[in-house]
Structure formats: C-alpha cells, structure tokens
Structure 1
Amino acid sequence: MDQCRAKLESTSLVKLYGEFTGTSNRKGRCAVILTEKDLVVQRLTSAPVGRNKVVLSLKDCVGCRAYRGNDSADKAAYLVAYFYPLKRRWMSSKVSRQRVEQGFRLASLQDPQANLEEAEKWARAVRERSARQQFPRNGVLMSQMSRPCQMMLLVNPQSGKGQALTLYNNHIQRMLNEAGIKHTLVITERQNHAREMVKEADLSQWDALVIMSGDGLLYEVINGLLERPDWEEAIRTPLGILPGGSGNALAASIHHYSGASPVTSEELLVSCGFLLCKGLVSHMDMVSIHLCSSPRLFSFLSLAWGFVADVDIESEKYRHFGAVRFTIGTLVRLASLRVYKGRLAYLPATKDHNSEEALRSNTMLCKDRVPPVTLPAVRDSSFHNSCHSNNSLKVRRVESTPSRSATKALPGPHDSLLPPLDQPLPDDWVVVPEEDFVLMLAMYQSHLAEDLLAAPEATPDDGVIHLFYVRAGISPTALLRLFLAMEKGAHLTTNCQHLVYTKVRALRLEPYSPKGIITVDGEVVEYGPVQAEVHRGLSRLITG
C-alpha cells in the first residue's frame, strides 16, 4: 500500500492528495489526487497501480460540494463531485454525455468542523480548477459567467411533445443544483408572454436568461430585449438555450460548436445542460429583418421562403410526433413540389469585411475556411418593389449612402447597409438572374433542426449570413437527396447544379407569387418584400 501511495504521489502537477473512504463502503479506502486537469481516484489495495483507477477530467466537471451528514453523531464530512464525461453507450457507436457522481467520506479528524473544513477545501479546489479549463474554440475566446449566478429559466410547457416540464424535472433541475446555479423557474402561459416579461423585467437581478423550449421562445425573448429603451445593455444579458421543442436548431448548433458528435433528444438536452453549467459566454450575431408594413424584427437563426418555410409551418399539425414532424412534412411537400417566383439580391461578404467592424476586446473572430460556393450572378437594375403595388418597376442605380431613415426611430442598432424597402439598391449588390425558386434559406447558425446541419461553416459570431437557394428544375428525388445529405452537412459537396450557396452581409427578397409563407426563426411573418442585415456579435450566448 505504501508503494501504491508513493507512485500516486509522484504524479506530476499534484495539487492535493488525500485518503478517504467511499460514501457507501466505509471499509474500502481510496487515494484521491487533484491535479490541475484531473481528479484521480485509486483504490488502496495490493493490486498494481492502474487497476481500479479512475481518472476524471475536470473539463467534464460541473460542480463539487462539501456537507455534513444527517446523523449528528457522525463526525465525518462528505465530498461529492459531479461529472458528465463523453462515453460510448452500451452496444452502440454513439457517444454522449453521461452522469458520473464521485463521493467520498472524510473522517480522519476528531473534530467534525475540521473534517468539514477539509472537505470544503477540496470542493473549492475542484471547482476552481474546473473553471480554469477554458480554451479557445474555433478561434473564439469566451468569457465565463460569475459564480454564484442567478438565472431566469423560462419554460414553455406546450412546446414540442409537451414534455418540457418533465424534462426539466428529470434532468435540468438536478444539473443546475449540482453546479450550484440558482434559478427561478418561469412557466410561460401564452404567446408573447416571455416577450412582454423581458421587456419590462428588472434585468439587474439576473445573470442570464435561459430558454427551455423550441426556438420560438428565444425569438420572443430577443425581440423583447431589443424593444427596451435600454436595449444596448439588455441585449448583453447572456442567453442560454435548452432543447424542449421540435426543431431545437440553436441547441443543436451549440452542441455542434462544442466539437462533440451529433446527438438528439434527451442526449442533446444533457449536452446543452452541461454546457450551460460550464457557463462560458461568447458573442452571437443578430440579424435585423425589415418587412413591408410591420415593425422591424430581430432574428438569431434563419429567414426562410419556399419549401423550407412551407414544411416548417405545414408540419405543425404533426407537432405531437416531435422532431419527426419535419420528416413527415418534407415527404408530403415533396409529393407536390412547388415553384416560387420572386427576386433575390444580396450584398456579398468580402474577405476583408471584418476589418470594417470594431472587434470585441475578448473575441478573436474566425477567418473564412472555405471559399463560398457560388454560381455566376449578374448585376441587374430590374429588382422590383411591391411595397406599394404589385406592378413591377425598374429601379435606378444609386451612388449615395443608404438611408437610415427607416430604422432611426426604432430601438436596436441602426442598419447601415439597407435602404428603405421602397428604395433601389446600391451598385455593390448582386441581383440573382433567376426568378423561379424552390427555396431560399438564410442561416446564421449551423443547424436548421436537430438533425440538419444546414450551414456547416457557420459560427455564432462570424458576421455573415449563410445564403442558400435552390433554383426551379430540381426533381423531388434530387431535393430529397439534398436534405438527406444535409443531415451530415454534406449537401454542399453533392455538386447539385440547382443549389447555390454564398456568404452575404445583407439581402433583399421580393416574392412575386401571390401566396406563400415567409418565416423568421420558424415563426410566420408578413408575406411580401423582406430584407435583412447582420449585426455582428450583438448579443451574448452561453455556449459552454
């Protein structure tokens, strides 16, 4: 046993060493070593070191606490640490986060208070070293939320299959308690309840706003924050997302940004819960959306017209199936594929557009990794305007700086790239020559749904809109193949002649078809001319 102890103590970077018993087996003793990166547990037996040895990475630790037992006669103190390491499931190739609880009993001292102080010393050391396990991800340095922190957790009990509260009780409540995060549960009662609440709330009492729902509830929260008089401060409130709906696109994106293998359903919830508990915050882009007669909106996920928007909304009738609703909706719409007429224009994102914006002091922004996949496009002065009439008029070239008059009086940031919808576009915009489309999709996160990696190059604050459109003429079979490839983010390598992808800073769409659906973050908005501009790093997102 002494030889075993000596080998353990020789481990490099040892910060703490102790010998304890287990919480359930008080006869078996174990040596515990805390290094800068790991918690190492070794049973003290005559077996060689390496057997019965557990190494737990502090990167996977969400919390650690010390406490006294319920028995007043018990002089011991207890130490318990909570880990969520990535593990391969039994009889499966899938890797997901699984809960590991490691507990110890400390009774080496006669004084109960002294035992508790020793346990608290260990708990502090574990928490401190776990918090240090921060590394740049995709070139982005993240800040960490202060501890202790207080979160408002908004839950929509009707989202998805209607199981959000059950999932909270089964997973999230315990995880937040393990991480020592205080939170107030707020159950939304109606549409726009969350929007109204955050618009009027005293945000100084909250360190973060966390949404447990689909993407629609976060859409409400973001627009409520940006409608406040103090929107500049309000939008800096860190936002968290826990999947409780059908699509869960942002939750899937956050999991993807962590570098972990794809997961869905409750495994995705556990992953996002773990990342929330780690509390690392990065910047997130916002996109301002202008409609013809509605107030300006703000979007964090997507703008869609055509096939994608139709499937999203028409599949609402299958909501009780959960995420499968989108598969059903896709097959139904493929059976009678529609063509949508309209006009699309965009302002390309150049390689040096980053230098035109002030970089945040704690953020290193990503460089483009792959050149955009584009088909030839021509500049055309015949972009139509139908805000006042469906009759098409040719627009004239303009050389002046785009007007801000449309947004000057509104809360939120100014749009420096967009002229009013009833004004012509500047010369540096590209007008797409085609007018017949199957879909137009503008993305600013990686995922369109849990299992659709629509924009594999996207990061939360890359400062661009990832624009996709599919031209008319594609067969239902080819479109289905495209969406099947999108499950793994491989649709851009299919060499589909009808698919166009490019990175843009702003866009304008004018539908010609008299009927159709346009969605923003999965929510139906006014059908008609629409334009959008990205605002880099405007908000804060808890990405873990």
Structure 2
Amino acid sequence: MATSTISGTDPFADPTRMSENSEYAEGDTLPVGRDASLTLATDSLIVLDEDFTRRETRNCCGLLPSKAKTTQAIPFFNVLWAELSNFDIIIQYAKTTSKNVVRVASVNYLVEKPQQGYAKVWITKLLDRAYGESQRKKRIKVLINPFSGRGGAQKWFLRDIEPIFVAARCEINVERTLYQGHAVELAEKIDTVAYDVIASCSGDGLPHEVFNGLGKKRNAAKALSQVAVVQLPCGTGNAMSWNSFGTDSCSIAALCIVKGLRTPLDLISITQGNSRTLSFLSQSVGVVAEVDLGTEHIRWMGSARFTYGFLVRVIRKTVYPCDLAVKIDIPTKGAIKEAYWNEFSNHAPIEERRGSFDIETPGLPELQYGTINSPLPSDFTPIPSNKLGNFYAGNMALMAPSANFFPAALPSDGQLDCVTVDGDISRTSAIQSFLAVEDGSWFNMPHVNYQKVSGYRITPKGQKTGYISIDGERFPFEEFQAEVHRGLGTVLTRSGHMYEAQGVVPRTGQGS
C-alpha cells in the first residue's frame, strides 16, 4: 500500500521524527545499569547506552576508528507502554522500519533495587507525556471487512494492527462482516458502554455503515457521542484515515488510534423518499459522482479510471441540470478562510463543539428543516443550476491522498463545504481545475463556487437516470435534502480539532 503522512499541528505531529537535540532536565533521568540511562526530553525519550558504540573503519581510508552514536531518541508519540516487572523496566514502542511502516519494539533494562521507587514515578511521567490527553488502554471493537483491499484486510490486521493494540494494552474484540450492511446491524446492537472505539478494517464503506447503525439505536445521539468511529485503512478508498491521521498505512493508523484524541464530527442527515441516512464524508451529483460510480466497469484500470472518466465527460461538456437551494452560512471565500484560520487557536472542550441537541432524547436529533417531503425551507436560497457540471458537498477535506477538494473543511463547525462548477466552462478551465485539486489551489479559481452551508435540497431534472453518491455509495437518482448536525458523531484525530490536510489561509483584503 503506497502511503505518505501529513503533519498536523498537535504536539505529536510526526511519529517518525526523532528529536536527539532536545534539552532535558537532569531530574527526568533514570539510571539503568552502569553505562546506560533513560531521559525524558522535550518530545522524546532519550536512551543513552554505551553499548550502542561500535567501531567502524570506513573513514580516513580505514586508518582511524570512529564511534557511532550512543543515544537513541524515541518520540513520545511512538511510546506504547512502560512497566516495571520485577527488576526490569520494559518500554514498548512503535519503531519506524520504513517510511510508512512501524513495528512493535522494546527497550529493556535492569533497575537496581534502590532505584525501584523512583523508577515507578519515572514511568508515570513517561506515560503522561506519551499519552497527553489521549485515553489509555482503549477498548476497541474491531470490524474486519474480509473483502477489503482485495482480501488483504485480515492479513494486515494480524501483521500491522493487532500487535500495536496489544502492546498498548488495548482491549480488543474482533468480528468479521459477512455481507453488505452487516456492520449496520452490528453497530445497532453494540453495547456502547462496553467500548470506546469502533475501528473498521476497511475502506470508507464500513464507517458509513457503523454511523448509520449507531443512528438506529434508541439512544442514537448518546451512542454517537459515546463511541468514536475510526478507520484502519484497508480499502481502496481510505478518506477517513487520510483526514484523521494523514496516512493510509495500517500500522501508522493503528498507532494514531492508540494516541488519538476524541473529536466531535458533524454528521449529515440525508432524507430521500421516506428514508433518513447519515453521511459523514461527502455527497455528489454530476461529474464527481459519475466518475466515481460510473466507471465501476473499468476498475481494472485502477486509479486511472477516474482520470479517464473525467476526461471523457469534459470533452463532451456534460451538464447535469437540477433545481438547487441551499442554506448559506458563509458566502465568500475570504470569510471562509478567516473562519478556518480562527479554528487553529480554538481549543474549546469537546462538549462545546457539539450542537444544542439533547443526547438524552431518544433517537436522532429532530430535523430543523424537515425532510425532502416538506415544503422548501424559507431560508434556503435557490441557486441557478441549469448548466451544472458538478455539485459536491464535503464534510472532510481529502477525498483521496491527492484530492484536497475541500481545503476549508473542519470536523465540527456545523457546516458542509459546498462546491458547484458549471458544466459549460471551457475544456481548458475544466482540466486546469482537475489538476489544481491535488494542491488545493482550485479553491481560488474564479469559476469554482465555494460556500459554507448547513443544509440544501437538490432535484435532478432532464435526466431519467444518473448517479448520486453519498459517502461513495450509490443512492437512487432522485431528489434529496441534507441537513448538518454539529458534532453529532465522534471520531479520533491526531490534533483533536483539525484535519490532517493542507488548509486555506486568509489573505488580507480578499473578500471573495
């Protein structure tokens, strides 16, 4: 699985970065043996051991020996557990073995009897720094989709994920899904008091099912606030992991779950016909939906099928006429940038990042705007869409590692990022937009209409058949209405309040 990581703004931002030059207080050093010590530095555990020294004869034509480093730096983020067993101190951590893989390793030293009391105090300090505000010994319900990743999910769990959970002293309960929709049934029946996390070894489909299963519980709002839903990236679409953890590496994602911070997540009620579905990722009508769902017959092309599908529709200048009305909260790009930037310094408690709904009320929160069968809300603004080329609403920034469609998206601002683009723009502009998605620069393109909304209604017209994608799943090609519930769901993220994606920044004087 090709992967990369994206640094966040939290104190544990890069689990692979060593900090050998960090300063540390002498009182945070634990002597272990004659020539070794363990020191709590600013952001790393420093292991000093003269036994690391080895002689090399590769310098100066092999005439002068040199000494290797006598220290090893282990970032606190990578420390999984530490304990004193008899006279041995054992520290388990996630060791970086390649750019995108970590494996469980350990440091083991003898602690003399006079140091035993201090060692226990020192271990407490180590674990405090290693976990910060993150919950220790998480109780994790693991759901494995055995069909994900061309059948590799089970293998990846056993090799890359389970050892990290075990080393971190997490309690895990594993169950395999047997058919589409099985995770909905499992989540609906789960005892939310017994687990802190539901982790899906899958693509984005299983988290979608889990949210909807929790949404079917009698105490749905409370259940969704109690249990964090996370993804262990084992599918072809791993958007949730990219946004939450900045990776599609199974082992790094497992480490991020161990250290992850509880984060409220906006969920969106989609009403269509007489049904109500929860969406956590995105909704699309037009080019994106067709490129995603309309190219299933050429999956053999891999990711190239998306490029092919897009180019075919651009050449045809395909349009998708519809009636569209939205509840606009932030209308201009300049104001959107300011709102995004302000969130960087917002570290409000988790309770303040949720909506005003009562979690003790049975079922899901009441719909403020009614359903698709209700009259159009008076505060929805009609948007001319007879020449619509693409309608895309996102709750997360990255739809794929190189697809930063919604660079201003925030986990719990109570708003969707809504993008519309006309289908009759020039082919050159359309292709430039496609290429600009990768670096996020398409946000500033004049023909890209980008707004923050809290609800919308869309009615396709002029077409009898087509594609509507909700969280990557195909829905009936008919009108639907969306409404955002601020902070209704719960996930784990590295920062606790931001996505791991390149976001937008405000520019002085820019108002649109």
* 1:19 aligns to 2:32 (yes or no): yes
Contact 2:145 2:202 (8 Å CA) reproduced: yes
Report the structure number with the largest CA radius of gyration. Answer: 1
2:493 aligns to what? 543
Structure 2, unaligned runs of 5 or more: 1-20, 54-65, 340-346, 355-360, 495-512
- Aligned to 1:310, the other structure's residue is in SS state helix
Q: Given the superposition, is the C-alpha separation of residues 37 and 363 from structure 1 closer, same or farther in structure 2, using an over 3 Å criterion? A: farther
- Aligned to 1:151, the other structure's residue is in SS state strand
* 1:449 aligns to 2:455 (yes or no): no
CA distance in 1, matches of 2:475, 2:174: 29
Aligned 1:7-406 pairs, distance under 5 A = 11-12=24-25, 14-20=27-33, 29-35=35-41, 37-44=43-50, 51-67=69-85, 77-83=88-94, 98-99=102-103, 101-106=105-110, 108-109=112-113, 123-132=123-132, 134=133, 144-145=134-135, 147-236=136-225, 237-256=227-246, 265-266=248-249, 269-291=250-272, 293-319=273-299, 323=303, 325-331=305-311, 333-334=313-314, 336-350=316-330, 361-362=349-350
1:472 aligns to what? 423
Contact 1:345 1:508 (8 Å CA) reproduced: yes
TM-score of the aligned structures, taking structure 2 as reference length: 0.77
- Aligned to 1:233, the other structure's residue is in SS state helix
CA distance in 1, matches of 2:69, 2:349: 47
CA distance in 1, matches of 2:117, 2:143: 37
- Structure 2: which amino acid aligns with 1:503? K
Q: Given the superposition, is the C-alpha separation of residues 282 and 540 from structure 1 closer, same or farther in structure 2, using an over 3 Å criterion? A: same
Deviations 1:288-309 (A, max 9, x none): 1111x24111110111111111
2:507 aligns to what? none
CA distance in 2, matches of 1:158, 1:116: 50
1:138 aligns to what? none
CA distance in 2, matches of 1:221, 1:242: 13
Q: Given the superposition, is the C-alpha separation of residues 271 and 456 from structure 1 closer, same or farther in structure 2, using an over 3 Å criterion? A: farther
Contact 2:210 2:229 (8 Å CA) reproduced: no
Shift, 1:517, TM fit? 0.9
- Aligned to 1:417, the other structure's residue is in SS state coil
- Structure 2: which amino acid aligns with 1:79? I
CA distance in 1, matches of 2:302, 2:174: 23
2:59 aligns to what? none
CA distance in 1, matches of 2:301, 2:202: 15
Shift, 1:215, TM fit? 0.9
- More displaced, 310-319 or 512-521? 310-319
CA distance in 2, matches of 1:84, 1:446: 29
- Aligned to 1:252, the other structure's residue is in SS state helix
- Structure 1: which amino acid aligns with 2:77? K
Shift, 1:246, TM fit? 1.2
- Aligned to 2:245, the other structure's residue is in SS state helix
Deviations 1:294-350 (A, max 9, x none): 411111011111111111112334556665554454455545452111111111114
- More displaced, 434-443 or 117-126? 117-126
Deviations 1:167-205 (A, max 9, x none): 212211111112111211111000110101111222222
- Structure 2: which amino acid aligns with 1:345? A
Shift, 1:104, TM fit? 2.3
- Aligned to 1:229, the other structure's residue is in SS state coil
- Structure 1: which amino acid aligns with 2:409? A
TM-score of the aligned structures, taking structure 1 as reference length: 0.72
- Aligned to 2:175, the other structure's residue is in SS state strand
- Structure 1: which amino acid aligns with 2:454? R
Shift, 1:464, TM fit? 0.8
Give me the identity figure in percent: 25
- More displaced, 447-456 or 51-60? 51-60
Deviations 1:487-509 (A, max 9, x none): 1222113x252x21111111111
Aligned 1:492-507 pairs, distance under 5 A = 492-493=443-444, 495-497=445-447, 499-507=448-456
Shift, 1:152, TM fit? 0.5
2:365 aligns to what? 413
Shift, 1:455, TM fit? 0.7
Q: Given the superposition, is the C-alpha separation of residues 166 and 307 from structure 1 closer, same or farther in structure 2, using an over 3 Å criterion? A: same
- Structure 2: which amino acid aligns with 1:18? P
1:391 aligns to what? none
- Aligned to 2:434, the other structure's residue is in SS state helix
Contact 1:208 1:240 (8 Å CA) reproduced: yes
- Aligned to 1:416, the other structure's residue is in SS state coil
- Alignment length (residue pairs): 440
CA distance in 1, matches of 2:308, 2:123: 49
CA distance in 2, matches of 1:46, 1:222: 49
- Structure 1: which amino acid aligns with 2:368? S
Q: Given the superposition, is the C-alpha separation of residues 61 and 364 from structure 1 closer, same or farther in structure 2, using an over 3 Å criterion? A: farther
- Aligned to 2:70, the other structure's residue is in SS state strand
Shift, 1:271, TM fit? 3.2
- Aligned to 1:460, the other structure's residue is in SS state coil
CA distance in 2, matches of 1:410, 1:524: 29
- Structure 2: which amino acid aligns with 1:170? R
- Aligned to 2:73, the other structure's residue is in SS state strand
- Structure 2: which amino acid aligns with 1:17? L
Contact 2:161 2:254 (8 Å CA) reproduced: yes
- Aligned to 2:404, the other structure's residue is in SS state coil
CA distance in 1, matches of 2:429, 2:191: 51
Q: Given the superposition, is the C-alpha separation of residues 330 and 64 from structure 1 closer, same or farther in structure 2, using an over 3 Å criterion? A: farther
Q: Given the superposition, is the C-alpha separation of residues 322 and 52 from structure 1 closer, same or farther in structure 2, using an over 3 Å criterion? A: farther
Structure 1, unaligned runs of 5 or more: 1-7, 22-28, 69-75, 90-94, 135-143, 257-262, 367-408
- Structure 1: which amino acid aligns with 2:166? N
- Aligned to 1:42, the other structure's residue is in SS state strand
Contact 1:346 1:506 (8 Å CA) reproduced: yes
1:382 aligns to what? none
CA distance in 2, matches of 1:454, 1:249: 11
Contact 1:13 1:35 (8 Å CA) reproduced: no
Deviations 1:226-250 (A, max 9, x none): 1111112211111111111112111
Which of 514, 527, 538 is 2:477 aligned to? Answer: 527
Shift, 1:518, TM fit? 0.7
Cα RMSD, aligned residues only: 3.4
- Aligned to 2:148, the other structure's residue is in SS state coil
Q: Given the superposition, is the C-alpha separation of residues 31 and 361 from structure 1 closer, same or farther in structure 2, using an over 3 Å criterion? A: closer
